[in-house]
Chain A
Amino acid sequence: GAVVSQHPSRVICKSGTSVKIECRSLDFQATTMFWYRQFPKQSLMLMATSNEGSKATYEQGVEKDKFLINHASLTLSTLTVTSAHPEDSSFYICSARFYDEQFFGPGTRLTVL
């Protein structure tokens, strides 16, 4: 199957700093990637849809200026959490669309101290 990677897998940062998470489709090109957030024992919450070469579409309630998404190439999308605070601590997961299926990355655990 199609492989999606995320980097880093785990990050700990101080409050007020910015963190960048990369999502790569390793063996296919993805014009559309998705970013999710998942709290413990809960379902995935879609944050935004990222289309290559255009601005991301954010879900209602997601702060665009806080969660910056860039989809600069057909194999890479990045999520930058700006001025992170403890409430931003979560598990962030990306997925990439391949035909009509979505393949997920392994996730990034963000802890903001």
Chain B
Amino acid sequence: QQQVKQSPQSLIVQKGGISIINCAYENTAFDYFPWYQQFPGKGPALLIAIRPDVSEKKEGRFTISFNKSAKQFSLHIMDSQPGDSATYFCAASRGSTLGRLYFGRGTQLTVWP
């Protein structure tokens, strides 16, 4: 059973546009929600993360929006650049399980120049 559902599977955005990736979860015990960026042939890199005590977190062009009641969270990439073209994974974990991450299926983002 997929613990974290991610959409869309692929996304094409023009340079300067906004990229939005959505994730949903069922387990209300999850208390940590990171986003990872992965380039081909490389390991995932932590991009930004949020905890349920806040509804939004912004770091540069990247923003996480978190809706606890709807059990959804999303990644917004403002002013998308060709260098942002990568696969993005959302994840969730519970502090009680030593950080075991449950990953979404990933979103392949392509930013056209």
Residues of A with Cβ closer than 8 Å to B? 1, 4, 6, 32, 34, 41-44, 46, 49, 51, 91, 93, 95, 97, 100-107, 109
Contacts and interface: CB of A to CB of B under 8 A. Distances in A.
A101 B43 contact: no
Given A49-B100, A102-B99, A104-B36, A42 B106 contact: yes
Contacts of B46: 1, 101-104
A31 to B, nearest CB: 9
Chain B interface size band reads: 20 to 34
A1 B45 CA distance: 10
A32 B98 contact: yes
Contacts of A109: 41
A104 B108 CA distance: 19
Contact of B104 (A32, A43, A106): A43
A97 B98 contact: yes
Contacts of A6: 43
Contacts of A107: 41-43
B44 A101 contact: no
A38 to B, nearest CB: 9
Given A41-B108, A93-B44, 9 more contacts: A4-B43, A41-B106, A43-B89, A43-B104, A44-B103, A101-B46, A102-B34, A102-B101, A104-B45
A101 B101 CA distance: 10
